[in-house]
Amino acid sequence: MENGDIPENANEHCPGPQSESAGKSDACEGCPNQQICATAPKGPDPDLVAIAERMATVKHKILVLSGKGGVGKSTFSAQLAFALAAKDFQVGLLDVDICGPSIPKMLGLEGQEIHQSNLGWSPVYVESNLGVMSIGFMLPNPDEAVIWRGPRKNGLIKQFLKDVYWGELDFLIVDAPPGTSDEHISIVQCLDATGVDGAIIVTTPQQVSLIDVRKEVNFCKKVGVKVLGVVENMSGLCQPITDFKFMKFTDNGEQKDVTQWVLECMREKAPEMLNLLACSEVFDSSGGGAVKMCNDMGISFLGKVPLDPQLCKAAEEGTSCFANKDCVVSAPALKKIIEQLIETNGWSVLVSNGV
């Protein structure tokens, strides 16, 4: 247990050998290291000093969180990184979702590997000003399952923060796993001395997601992380009417594709309809959605991003939706949210200074 590292055979919620509660808390019961931790001398973790030195060249650190999985958190993280890089910021994207690392796919970096230099681990670069680090680059194949207990996950997060050489960064975006688990505590504790600008929380409109988002907000309050705002993702299906497929039930109950017939009718009888967007609610938002939750909890609501098949396609292809002329619905919504973040948090100073 050199340098205060958590041993691999520790219990899942190990407080760490340098903690005052090491060997004494309920989480330590039955751990083979309990007696050692209880009697070992305590002191500051030298790794935290190394992390502080490494993070000294990073101006802003942003956590992207979600209460549940599958709400589009990583998609938002990826597009936020693309958008900031397109504004000529120096951007790093750190994927700490150890068991579900989807960032390499969403940045078009599948199959890439991490390289080491005398300065540390080198990020994998999408562009010269957009670097990425993920456990996904370390797996022997993309189907490999990561079956790790909490202490080993936390050790890798610490190593990412301590050993990755980002150079000068304007923004480090941290894509965290869903929920409020050991990984979240680790990332907050490791970055505490260097300061975290805050967290963006991604949700969908329905109550089953918002219930867990409330827990995420309370987690941020307890650990002293500012909530920069909440993004309501998948806020209704919205796309050009010409992108829809139109179906008709036949007499025997089967579905028949009548798309061409419908489009031809529009062209002949109402051509102006071809320029319309068609929108539909996907999730039940009768409870007020994220807007009401933000009002109730006194936090900022950043905006809504519709469920856009073109955004899904961009994520699958690992490309920026802002460079895709077909993302006519999601790209403007995301752009508005990101510009609001830049303006309200004073990051526009970096733009005006030509950083």
pLDDT digits (tens, 9 = 90+) for 182-234: 889 899 999 988 899 999 999 999 999 999 999 999 999 999 999 999 999 99
Model confidence at 355: pLDDT above 60: no
Question: 138-166 burial by CB neighbour count: b if 16+ within 10 A, else e?
Answer: eeeeeeeebeebbbbbbbbbbebbbbbeb
| Distance between first and last Cα of the chain | 42
Q: H or E stretch including 54?
A: helix 46-55
pTM of the model: 0.84
Q: Cα-flanking dihedrals φ and ψ of residue 212, to 5°? A: -80, -25
72 is in an annotated binding site: yes
Q: Where are the alpha helices (DSSP H) in the chain?
A: 34-39, 46-55, 73-86, 103-106, 150-163, 182-191, 207-223, 259-269, 289-297, 309-317, 330-344, 348-352
Model confidence at 148: pLDDT above 90: no
pLDDT band (50, 70, 90) for residue 42:
low
Model confidence at 3: pLDDT above 60: no
Please, are residues 183 and 96 in contact by the beta-carbon 8 Å criterion?
yes
Q: Model confidence over 334-345: pLDDT tens digits?
A: 999 999 999 999
Give the position of tokens 């102006």: 272
Q: What is the mean pLDDT of residues 262-273?
A: 96
∠ CA 314-142-137, nearest 5°, is 85
Across the chain, mean pLDDT equals 90
Q: What is the mean pLDDT of residues 325-330?
A: 92
303 is in an annotated binding site: no
Find all residues with CB under 8 Å of 192, minimum gap 6, and list them.
224
11 vs 45, more confident: 11
67 is in an annotated binding site: yes
Model confidence at 1: pLDDT above 60: no
- pLDDT for 147 equals 85
Lowest mean per-residue pLDDT among 71-80, 127-136, 279-288: 279-288
73 is in an annotated binding site: yes
Q: What length does the chain have?
A: 355
149 vs 295, more confident: 295
313 is in an annotated binding site: no
Q: How far apart are CA 141 and CA 160, in angstroms?
A: 20
Q: What is the mean pLDDT of residues 280-285?
A: 88
- pLDDT for 10 equals 81
CA dihedral of 62, 128, 315, 132, whole degrees rounded to 10: -50
37 is in an annotated binding site: yes
pLDDT band (50, 70, 90) for residue 46:
confident
Listed residue (237, 252, 244, 207) closest to 305, CA to CA:
237
Q: Is 323 helix (H, G, I), strand (E, B) or coil?
A: helix
69 is in an annotated binding site: yes
273 vs 25, more confident: 273
∠ CA 212-213-218, nearest 5°, is 100
68 is in an annotated binding site: yes
Relative to beta strand 255-257, strand 277-280 is unpaired
Relative to beta strand 277-280, strand 227-240 is antiparallel
- pLDDT for 286 equals 83
Model confidence at 156: pLDDT above 50: yes
14 is in an annotated binding site: yes
28 is in an annotated binding site: yes
In DSSP notation, 341-352 reads HHHHTTTHHHHH
Relative to beta strand 58-66, strand 198-203 is parallel
- pLDDT for 44 equals 65
